[in-house]
Amino acid sequence: MEYNNPIILQDFSDPDVIRKNDNFYMIASSFNHTPGVPILKSKNLVDWKIIGYVFENLPFERFKDVYHGDGAWAPSIRYHNNLYYAVIPFPDEGIYVSSCTDIEKGDWTEPWCLIPGKGLIDPCPIWKDGKCYMAIGFAKSRIGFNSCLGLFEVSNDLKTQISDTYTIIYDGHHMNPTIEGPKFNERNGWIYIMAPAGSVKTGWQVCLRSKNIYGPYEPKIVLMQNDSKTNGPHQGALIELKNDEWAFIHFQDKKCYGRICHLQPVKWVDDWPLCGMVKDELIAGTPVDTHPYIIDKKSNFKIPTSDNFASDKLSLIWQTPANKQDGWYKLDNGLILNCYYHDEKSYNSLNMSPNLFLTKLAYLSFNVETLVDIKLLNDGDEIGLCYMGSEYSYICIKRIDGQNHLQVKKGYFNNELDEVVFDSIYKNNEIKLQMKFKEPGIYKLGFNNTIFKETYNALPGRWIGGKIGIYAKGKKIGGYGLFKYFKVREVKWKKTINLY
């Protein structure tokens, strides 16, 4: 059996992975979106499913509002003394930790603060010689510098900061600028730190090694784009399998599709983990497009892309860009989204609305449709289907002067008012809202099998890919939309054929 990269064509940024017996568990960034910090499971490192999230809401009051790109940055996951630990950086608040005993049940604790402070990111612990140490990176936007890796000593239970401050253990300014995302491993008496450098879009993967936790660390580039089509390749996890076999999972920045996940084989050469296709043992490996399964095991795990809203719980594919509030939704023969008012800023600009129900892009080209019973009562009530990124467009039904109007709008991050580009009275009580999305990132909107000619550019969000989703908002309570289903269907096309 062979697998194809990417193994996950979805935006699971900054993946970290551990093995527990025959299972693999992945953790990823979620930024301002909730529920936050997803947990995925695999049997073979290729097929994955979402099994839960570390927290339902971000543990800070300010996230009742939308703060694009803030929140939970690159986390790490480790297992120690019968506990799973998720170590999560909040770049404006500090390093937080949550633990659980049963990762399948997801009995994660409320996150606690281990190390307070701005600009401390990308934490990863290691337990060695009876002590625990935490590697970190630095966010220049918060602390004024980057391109270095630091180290704290902390208590073994990750409850207490022991060292007063960090020690710089590697300075990458000259050889590996913007180095970040450190992940600890051990093998053959060496301490290893895998860390990306260069940049998210055009960088490379560095391995640092030392016999001493404080260094000095010797660097080697172990994976870079070379002649492959995989730019980056960026932050990820070196994973110990069985019988001294290893693998490496990392992300690739693919613009509107987000930070998608790739799997690389690992070959140890002179105690260095060369990743990908090793053409010359003296230089870095190259990302593979296809490769025989590293773990030759079949699995039916997959991440759903559609939802018929038949469950009594919201599917794990949905996130909101701020903490959820009571009364936003309920499941009753479909998904009822209530016309909720947050504030004037979010009412006028959809990207600031906390109650968007969004899901990740999952295919290069695809069609979306959602069927909605229109139950708008008050002027200003609105329901719709959107593409959300730093530039976005959406199709909606809005109640104006006692009548429902079909509208198409567009907007931008940092603009205070979205622009109406189409408006017409709509008299039916039901509508099928549609989107046609085409690689490399353009889309059209439509309704009831009528697709508008206008095309829109799909741009990523802040540190994330674009998302698609549904919403309801208003000025008064009472109105709602009953969403019967949300279907996403992959479209495969030949480049010689113009689907538009």
Active site residues: 14, 180
Burial class (CB in 10 A: 0-12, 13-18, 19+), 473: buried
- Cα separation, 4 vs 120, in Å, equals 35
Burial 202-231 (b: 16+ CB within 10 A, else e): ebbbbbbbbeebebebebbbbbbbeebebb
Q: Max CA-CA distance within the chain?
A: 75
**Pairing of β 204-210 and β 190-197:** antiparallel
- Cα separation, 122 vs 94, in Å, equals 11
Task: Using alpha carbons, select from 14, 42, 46 the residue that is nearest to residue 27.
Answer: 14
Task: Using alpha carbons, select from 25, 2, 6, 8 the residue that is nearest to residue 305.
Answer: 8
Q: Which H or E element spans position 497? A: none
Q: Which residues pair with 148 in a beta bridge?
A: 171
Q: Can you give the C-alpha Rg of the chain in angstroms?
A: 23
Burial 8-22 (b: 16+ CB within 10 A, else e): bbbbbbbbbbbbeee
What is the per-residue DSSP string for 448-467? TTEE-S--EE----SSS--E
